Amino acid sequence: MARKDENLDYDELPVDSPERKRLPLLLRRAWYGLNQAFRRNIAHAGATPDQFTVLRTLNEHTEGLTQSKLAQLMTSDPNTVASLLERMRANGWVERKKHEADRRANRIRLKPAGQKKFVQLRDIAANLQLSLLEKLPAAQREPFLSLLADLADACRDAAEDAARERDRA
């Protein structure tokens, strides 16, 4: 349990006190709610939120991406991405071709059907994001997203630091 003197910037309650708003629970609740809302909004299109993330990421990198770079950009693990890509390849949305410079890697690109699916889902995703951000005052939306990006970077750094510490042990 965190000690009071470790949390001097957090009033008199420890940061992990049940009476406080706790970061891990809030992030999980926000992510779960967003994911479920999006899943329900796109269910009719036969796609999942993770598949949309692949489509969006590949749409933003028209030259294609290696599977490992795609996993990194999606903040996902390679096994999950491999499984997603196999289903998406079967749907005709993406193609895998041997990387021209690295024979061990594959370059993943959108196929026309994947581009069409992305266009179909993009407005749904954008409208959901806008409707959620409208819950915040207009002047706070961009600062909130900037702070959230900083927090996401700090979480990634903490995970990488923990992995390095584990590897040293």
pLDDT value for 13:
81
Length in residues, the chain:
169
pLDDT value for 1:
46
Beta-sheet strands, E only, within 3-112: 65-66, 94-98, 106-110
Task: Encode burial over 48-66: b for 16+ CB neighbours within 10 A, e otherwise.
Answer: bbbbbbbbbbbeeeeebbb
Residue written as tokens 């991406």? Answer: 65
pLDDT value for 4:
47
Q: Tell me which amino acid residue 127 is.
A: N
Question: How far apart are the C-alpha atoms of 82 and 157, rounded to whole Å?
Answer: 24
Q: What's the fold here for domain 4-135?
A: Arc Repressor Mutant, subunit A (1.10.10)
pLDDT value for 93:
98
What predicted TM-score, i.e. pTM, was given to this entire model? Answer: 0.83
Q: Which of 100, 36, 108 is nearest to 66 (CA)?
A: 108
pLDDT value for 5:
53
Burial of 106 (0-12, 13-18, 19+ CB in 10 A): buried
pLDDT value for 35:
96
Mapping DSSP to helix (H, G, I), strand (E, B) and coil, where does residue 102 land? coil
Q: Tens place of pLDDT for every residue, the chain, 169 residues?
A: 445 455 445 567 888 888 888 899 999 999 999 999 999 999 999 999 999 999 999 999 999 999 999 999 999 998 999 999 999 999 999 999 887 877 788 899 999 999 999 999 999 999 999 999 999 999 999 999 999 999 999 999 999 999 898 888 8
